């Protein structure tokens, strides 16, 4: 573990080394899935048009007048999939995720607009597109849930029995203090409080808007005997999937199940991927299944690429949420109790909703010391396409509600919102709402003050008060406000998740482009724009004491790399990066034990700066030239190149209890204070963000430029969620699935985002690093809405804070003033 904050100067970690994948991306030389050389058929998906019903038949309408000859098409429906798997007896037509309620193709009942019913393949994509419109789906309609906030009628119940648990995907209760003792004790906390403050907060679905839409190519390898004839081969066969994705092994799990193939019968290869943000966490499994079915049916390669509209209309988005919040405070503004009720709209199938709900629940009360807490969380069904993973994963919803509520509490108590936070932030040794004691050396008050100083909080508060008063007098429509959010984000899978994953990383001796010995890092973690290739290169080079050029990163391919887990949950640098360092150690120990490296190769002045408490920096003890020589020898040895391995090992400390929802939810957290400065124009009710400061403690900055980019990108994505981005639904169908009417910010809409880092190294991250991918999504929306609320003097409690919403709130407040 590093001692203090300083790394020795020869480290690559901590420096903004250029991305190894930069040149091919900037020059356009890199092939994304739709750019790959391809000869085969194109696939398309026929989808339901209504929110809920039963399919009674399909009709393929005559298409001669538009050049569609049905004899030229391959058609796949659910009837092509057997009802029970010959492997485990389960219906193969179910997407293997947490539950198995979602079909690859509709057999009978369907639950959302755009549910896949039928797949078509044809050599000409233009003819294919026309054919899709010619497939008529005959249906009987069933009552749909179009507003997740309303309790369902009996006829709308699609999961569970009518009653309080109707259409419930998952319920989680976080409880602490008096709430553990029962309702009476918890009620007493509120009865005795000097202030009780209530509010209701809502957030909307958000589209990930990765630059590259989803796309998959599927190929089959069948024996000669199976080249023709039955759809399902009699002899062993192989399915190869290549495409845009975050999690090759998630796709692998889903595809082996659908095709009833053994693990080695399915090969999943990640193509260069143009962004994910969670949107390519689980959905590529479905597209892979579809492309695979068409490839199997035709025994030809099939390419299935979504265009922007199809991708926006039917793939996953951030869960909408509604939160009721009640806070009990003493006369000084100290939080005594929090009673919170969170509902997430899961959409039509369960998908990842329970874990999104869980992360939201755990982050709900933030980095605050609250003695008595009850957070009741539910994910419920509605008849829209399933909501899924999106950067932040449930935390942005609850952090928004809580941080917005703290500002309301501050006004009620009569103190500054920052002062209210200062009085309630945890210090080292305090426990979070989930009863996790924070023993790492945190200094949240100091870190918050650094952010406030950088954002000139006090000066702005004073200046804005004077400005707004003058504007009121002069009739100017401009109002200014500053707002703050203080929050945290746990990196890696929640609770025991990393134990179940048991991720593995392998590092192989290899010969580099320069002919000298080096290593190849083999993980299933994907480069999706965030810089995984760069970070792994830095970590392996530093763990081994080798130059960057001696490190290669293997392409994620399930035939070639071990399962190091999904590229999600801010875990790639912290969890998998740590495994890269430990696998490097293992490789060097093996070189020693087989005698390829000997004591004579030891460095005269060894550098034993270890990557973490669990690594031994073995490579750094050797003279680099000797190590490279040994690696070259080990790369060429009989029986294959020498491999170093590492398997996830839980850091020492307590465990997580999934039943009580108490314990160590995350090994560590990143801590942050964000500040937004805004100007609202009361002529148009438009908000301009005039300044933004994002300050966070992230353990160790592995690559300053990438880290700053990661934070700025997340902040801008959250600014879009806060002010502009809205999904508009009518009868369960999104009406703005395009970049014209789903409005994301451009450079003109966002200020320069000032990024500050504090570093308090985490003992079990590589050189102290914590995960940062999702953190910047959590704080901007509440900071911005706190600023708007301060500027206009009216609480704005729902996202996005569009001019329309701000106008209604301001006018409603004015008319209630007039009438009272």
Partner 1 sequence: MTAIAHSAVSVHRARTLQDALDQLSQAPLQLLAGGTDIMVEANHGGLRGRHFLDISGLGSELGGHSWLPDGALRIGALCTYAQLQADARAQAELPMLMAASRLVGATQIQSRGTYAGNVENGSPAADAAPALLALDAVVELRSLAGTRTVPLAHYYTGYRSTARRSDELISALIVPKPDGGVSCQFFRKVGTRAFQAITKVGLSARIVWQGGQITDARIVATSMAATICRAHHIENALRGLSDIDAAAKSALRRAQDADLRPMDDVRSSADYRAEVFHRLVLQAASETRPS
Which CB atom, from 284 or from 737, has the smaller least distance to partner 1? 737
Should residue 129 be labelled a site residue for partner 1 when binding is judged by CB under 8 A?
yes
The residue (of 374 and 805) whose beta carbon lies closer to partner 1 is 805
What's the N-to-C CA distance of the chain in angstroms? 64
Q: Contacting partner 1 (CB under 8 A), which of 749, 751, 763, 813?
A: 749
Between CA 509 and CA 583 the distance in angstroms is: 11
- Tokens at residue 35, please? 């750019």
- If binding is defined by CB under 8 A, does position 685 make contact with partner 1? yes
Give the whole-angstrom CA distance, residue 774 versus residue 627: 37
746: its two tokens: 């451009």
Stretch near partner 1 under the rule CB under 8 A, chosen from 114-122, 142-150, 184-192, 802-810:
802-810
Instruction: Kindly indicate which of the ranges 230-238, 328-336, 601-609, 733-741 contains the residues binding partner 1, using the contact rule CB under 8 A.
Output: 733-741
Q: Which of 6, 27, 593, 740 binds partner 1 (CB under 8 A)?
A: 740
Nearer Cβ to partner 1 (631/689): 689
Angle at 614 between CA 700 and CA 618, to 5 degrees: 95
Which residues, in sequence order, are CB contacts of 236 under 8 Å at separation 6+? 223, 265
Rounded distance between C-alpha atoms, residue 243 and residue 257, angstroms: 19
Instruction: List binders of partner 1 among 414-443 (CB under 8 A).
Output: none
User: 809 Cβ partners below 8 Å, 6+ apart?
Assistant: 792, 794, 795, 796
Chosen residue from 3, 4, 57, 64 binding partner 1 by CB under 8 A: 64
- Residue 10 near residue 624, CB atoms below 8 Å: no
The site for partner 1, by CB under 8 A, has a size of: 32
| Distance between CA atoms of residues 773 and 574, nearest Å | 10
Beta-bridged to residue 670, according to DSSP, are: 489
Please report whether residue 123 would count as binding partner 1 according to CB under 8 A: no
Of 38-46, 60-68, 96-104, 228-236, which segment contacts partner 1 by CB under 8 A? 60-68
Question: Toward partner 1, which CB reaches closer, 66 or 225?
Answer: 66
Cα–Cα dist 285/218, whole Å: 12
Q: Residue 743 interacts with partner 1 (CB under 8 A)?
A: yes
CB of 43 to partner 1, least distance (A): 17
Peptide bond into 276 cis (omega under 30): no
147 binds partner 1 (CB under 8 A): no
Q: Does 728 participate in binding partner 1 (rule CB under 8 A)?
A: yes
Residue 479's DSSP bridge partners are: 680
Binding track over 758-797 against partner 1, x by CB under 8 A? ----------------------------------------
C-beta closer to partner 1: residue 168 or 807: 807
Nearer to partner 1, 186 or 729 (CB): 729
The CA angle 318-162-97, to the nearest 5 degrees, is: 40
Which residue stretch of 44-52, 62-70, 297-305, 757-765 sits at the interface with partner 1 (rule: CB under 8 A)? 62-70
Q: Which of 100, 107, 130, 733 binds partner 1 (CB under 8 A)?
A: 130
CB closer to partner 1, 505 vs 750: 750
Determine the interface stretch with partner 1 among 238-246, 247-255, 577-585, 746-754 (rule: CB under 8 A): 746-754
CB-based contact 404:786 (threshold 8 Å): yes
Q: Where are the beta strands (DSSP E) in 685-743?
A: 686-697, 729-730, 733-734
In angstroms, the CA 246 to CA 84 distance is 29
| 733 phi and psi angles, rounded to 5 deg | -115, 130
Checking DSSP bridges between strand 478-490 and strand 669-681, what pairing results, if any? antiparallel
Within 579-618, the residues that bind partner 1 by CB under 8 A are none
Nearer to partner 1, 165 or 472 (CB): 472
211 counts as binding partner 1 under rule CB under 8 A: no
Among 3, 65, 147, 224, binds partner 1 (CB under 8 A): 65
Q: Which of 124, 111, 119, 113 is nearest to 135 (CA)?
A: 119
Strand partners, 321: 203, 344
Span near partner 1 by CB under 8 A; candidates 186-194, 377-385, 503-511, 743-751? 743-751
Closer residue to partner 1, CB minimum distance, 548 or 682: 682
Interacting span for partner 1 (CB under 8 A) from 26-34, 270-278, 302-310, 582-590: 302-310
- Cβ at position 727, least distance to partner 1 in Å: 10
Cβ-contact 762, 769 below 8 angstroms = yes
Q: Is 746 in the site for partner 1 (CB under 8 A)?
A: yes
Among 684, 704, 731, 793, binds partner 1 (CB under 8 A): 684
Q: Supply the minimum distance, in Å, between the C-beta of residue 318 and partner 1.
A: 19
Measured CA to CA, the distance from residue 781 to residue 404 in angstroms comes to 9
The distance of closest approach from Cβ of residue 713 to partner 1 in the complex, given in angstroms and rounded to an integer, is 18
Distance CA 241, CA 251 (A): 9
Burial string for 527-557 (b: 16+ CB within 10 Å, else e) reads: bbbbbbbbbbbbbbbbbbbbebebbbbbebb
Q: Which of 324, 589, 733, 808 binds partner 1 (CB under 8 A)?
A: 808
What DSSP assignment string belongs to 65-120?
A: GGTB-GGG-EEEEGGGS-SS-TTTSS-SSS--SSS----SS-SSEE-STT-EEEEE
Contact call for residue 477 and partner 1 (CB under 8 A) = yes
481, 680 Cβ separation under 8 angstroms: yes
Which segment (213-221, 254-262, 303-311, 574-582) binds partner 1 by CB under 8 A? 303-311
Sheet with 335-347, edge to edge strand ranges: 168-176, 372-381, 335-347, 321-329, 195-203
Q: For residue 686, state whether it binds partner 1 (rule: CB under 8 A).
A: yes
Q: Closer to partner 1 at the Cβ: 98 or 682?
A: 682
Euclidean distance between CA atoms 251 and 254, whole angstroms: 5
> Least distance in Å: CB of 210 to partner 1?
18
Contacts of 279 (CB under 8 A, 6+ apart): 207, 208, 210, 214, 315, 316, 317, 388, 389, 390
What's the rounded Cα separation, in Å, for the pair 110 and 55? 7
- Of 22, 225, 613, 811, the residue at the interface with partner 1 (CB under 8 A) is 811
724, 763, 798, 813: residue in contact with partner 1 (rule CB under 8 A): 724
Residue nearer to partner 1 on the CB measure, 67 or 654: 67
Part of the chain binding partner 1 (CB under 8 A), chosen from 90-98, 536-544, 583-591, 677-685: 677-685
Q: Pick from 173, 185, 309, 465: which binds partner 1 (CB under 8 A)?
A: 309
Distance, in Å, from the CA atom of 539 to the CA atom of 583, rounded to the nearest integer, reads 11
Nearest distance from residue 114's CB to partner 1, in Å?
A: 16
Residue 752 contacts partner 1 per CB under 8 A: no
- Contact flag: residue 803 with partner 1 (CB under 8 A): yes
What is the closest distance, in whole angstroms, from the C-beta atom of residue 808 to partner 1 in the complex?
A: 7
At closest approach, how far in Å is the CB of 74 from partner 1? Answer: 20
Least Å from the CB of residue 209 to partner 1: 14
**Are 215 and 304 a contacting pair, CB within 8 Å?**
yes
Dist. CA 738–CA 727, nearest whole Å? 10
Q: Are 219 and 251 in contact (CB under 8 A)?
A: no
CB of residue 816 to partner 1, shortest distance in Å = 17
Give the interface with partner 1 as residue ranges (CB under 8 A): 64-67, 126, 129-130, 307-309, 477, 682-686, 724, 728, 735-736, 740-741, 743, 745-746, 748-749, 803-804, 807-808, 811
């Amino acid at each position: 573990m590093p001692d203090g904050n300083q790394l020795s100067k020869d480290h690559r970690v901590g420096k903004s080394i250029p991305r190894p994948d930069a040149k091919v991306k900037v020059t356009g030389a890199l092939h994304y899935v739709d750019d790959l050389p391809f000869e085969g058929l194109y696939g398309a998906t026929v989808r339901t048009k209504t929110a809920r019903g039963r399919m009674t038949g399909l009709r393929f309408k005559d298409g001669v007048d538009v050049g569609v000859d049905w004899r030229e098409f391959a058609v796949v429906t659910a009837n092509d999939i057997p009802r029970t798997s010959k492997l485990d007896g389960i219906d193969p037509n179910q997407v293997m995720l947490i539950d198995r309620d979602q079909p690859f193709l509709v057999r009978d009942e369907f639950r959302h607009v755009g549910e896949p019913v039928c797949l078509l393949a044809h050599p000409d994509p233009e003819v294919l597109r026309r054919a899709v419109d010619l497939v008529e789906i005959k249906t009987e309609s069933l009552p749909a849930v179009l507003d997740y906030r309303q309790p369902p009628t009996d006829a709308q119940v699609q999961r569970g029995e009518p009653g309080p648990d109707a259409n419930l995907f998952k319920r989680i209760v976080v409880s602490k203090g008096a709430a553990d003792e029962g309702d009476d004790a918890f009620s007493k906390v509120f009865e005795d409080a000097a202030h009780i403050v209530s509010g209701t907060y809502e957030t909307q679905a958000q589209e990930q808007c990765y630059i590259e839409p989803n796309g998959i190519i599927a190929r089959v390898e069948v024996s000669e005997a199976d080249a023709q004839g039955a759809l399902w081969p009699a002899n062993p066969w192989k399915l190869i999937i290549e495409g845009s994705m975050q999690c090759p092994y998630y796709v692998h799990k889903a595809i082996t199940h659908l095709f009833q193939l053994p693990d080695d019968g399915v090969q999943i290869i990640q193509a260069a991927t143009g962004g994910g943000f969670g949107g390519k966490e689980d959905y590529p499994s479905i597209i892979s299944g579809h492309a695979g079915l068409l490839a199997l049916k035709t025994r030809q390669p099939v390419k299935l690429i979504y265009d922007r509209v199809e991708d926006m209309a039917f793939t996953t988005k951030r869960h909408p949420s509604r939160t009721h919040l009640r806070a009990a405070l003493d006369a000084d503004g100290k939080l005594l109790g929090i009673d919170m009720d969170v509902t997430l709209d899961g959409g039509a199938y369960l998908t990842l909703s329970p874990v999104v709900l869980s992360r939201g629940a755990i982050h709900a009360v933030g980095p605050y010391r609250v003695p008595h807490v009850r957070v009741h969380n539910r994910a419920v069904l509605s008849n829209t396409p399933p909501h899924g993973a999106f950067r932040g994963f449930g935390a942005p919803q609850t952090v928004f509600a809580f941080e917005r509520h703290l500002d309301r509490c501050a006004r009620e108590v009569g103190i500054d919102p920052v002062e209210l936070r200062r009085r309630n932030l945890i210090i080292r040794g305090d426990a979070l709402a989930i009863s996790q004691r924070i023993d790492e050396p945190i200094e949240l008050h100091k870190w918050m003050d650094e952010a406030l100083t950088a954002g000139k909080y006090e000066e702005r508060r004073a200046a804005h008060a004077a400005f707004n008063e003058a504007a009121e007098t002069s009739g100017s429509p401009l109002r200014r406000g500053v707002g703050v959010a203080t929050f945290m984000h746990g990196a890696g899978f929640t609770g025991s998740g990393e134990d179940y994953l048991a991720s593995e990383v392998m590092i192989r001796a290899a010969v580099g482009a320069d002919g000298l010995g080096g290593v190849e890092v083999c993980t299933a973690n994907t480069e999706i724009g965030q810089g995984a290739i760069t970070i792994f290169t830095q970590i392996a080079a530093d763990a081994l004491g080798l130059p960057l050029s001696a490190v290669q990163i293997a392409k994620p391919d399930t035939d070639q790399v071990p399962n190091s887990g999904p590229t999600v949950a801010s875990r790639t640098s912290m969890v998998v990066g740590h495994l890269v360092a430990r696998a490097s150690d293992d490789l060097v120990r093996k070189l020693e034990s087989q005698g390829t490296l000997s004591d004579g190769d030891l460095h005269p002045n060894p550098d034993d700066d270890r990557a973490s408490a669990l690594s031994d920096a073995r490579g750094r003890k050797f003279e680099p030239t000797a190590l490279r020589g040994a690696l070259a020898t080990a790369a060429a040895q009989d029986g294959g190149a020498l491999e170093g391995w590492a398997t996830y090992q839980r850091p020492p400390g307590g465990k997580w209890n999934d039943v009580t929802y108490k314990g160590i939810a995350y090994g560590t957290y990143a801590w942050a204070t964000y500040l937004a400065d805004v100007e609202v124009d009361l002529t148009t009710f438009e908000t301009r963000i005039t300044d933004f400061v994002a300050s966070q403690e992230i353990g160790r900055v592995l690559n300053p430029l990438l880290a700053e980019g990661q934070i700025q990108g997340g902040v801008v994505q959250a600014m879009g969620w806060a002010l502009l981005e809205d999904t508009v639904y009518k009868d369960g169908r999104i009406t703005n699935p395009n970049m014209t009417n789903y409005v994301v910010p451009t450079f003109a809409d966002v200020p320069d985002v000032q990024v500050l880092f504090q570093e308090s190294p985490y003992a079990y991250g590589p050189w102290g690093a914590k995960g940062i991918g999702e953190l910047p999504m959590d704080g901007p929306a509440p900071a911005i809405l706190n600023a708007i609320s301060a500027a206009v003097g009216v609480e704005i409690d729902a996202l996005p804070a569009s001019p329309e919403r701000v106008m209604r709130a301001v006018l409603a407040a004015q008319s209630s003033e007039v009438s009272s």
